[in-house]
Amino acid sequence: PAIRRAARIGNCWHPVGAIPAAPLEPEELAENLVLLRDYAEKAGRDPSQIQVSVKAPLYDANDSSGPRRRFSGSPDEVRQDVQTYADVGVTHLIFDFRSSDPNQNKDRMAAFAEEVM
């Protein structure tokens, strides 16, 4: 599996869950990070030298058609999601602004930078 290759020879592990458009939940990711560290140590590597990145799709904050998705909602909720993943061991988040319209992406990036960062 990719997690073993990352532990053996990689600089970073970028896990993809069963639904690629949704990040792994922190609890599942934490379990996998225990494996990553174990595999790295067995390969004679320092696990702290392996970065962990996660794709973070940003959904429309106004979509209330069910439970809140990670990285959606108010700026405070998004910041809390970022902190939750950092606490688990994620070193890089790749934000996906989820639009095929370049102007809408630009607007979403600007709002994210102003309101969340």
Question: What is the three-state SS of the chain?
Answer: CHHHHHHHHCCEECCCCCCCCCCCCHHHHHHHHHHHHHHHHHCCCCHHHCEEEEEEECCCCCCCCCCCCCCCCCHHHHHHHHHHHHHHCCCEEEEECCCCCHHHHHHHHHHHHHHCC
Mean pLDDT of 60-81: 83
Q: What residues does each domain of the chain span?
A: 2-115
**pLDDT of residue 18 exceeding 70:** no
Predicted pLDDT at 17: 67
What would the CATH number be for the domain defined by 2-115?
3.20.20.30
Whether 50 and 9 have beta carbons less than 8 Å apart is answered as no
In the predicted model, what is the mean pLDDT of residues 74-88? 95
Cα–Cα distance for residue pair 112/117, rounded to 1 Å:
7
Helices and strands in the chain: count of H runs, count of E runs: 4, 3
Spatial separation of the C-alpha atoms in residues 66 and 96, rounded to whole Å = 21
Mean pLDDT lowest for which of 34-48, 51-65, 71-85?
51-65
Return the pLDDT at 112. 92
pLDDT of 3 strictly over 90 = yes
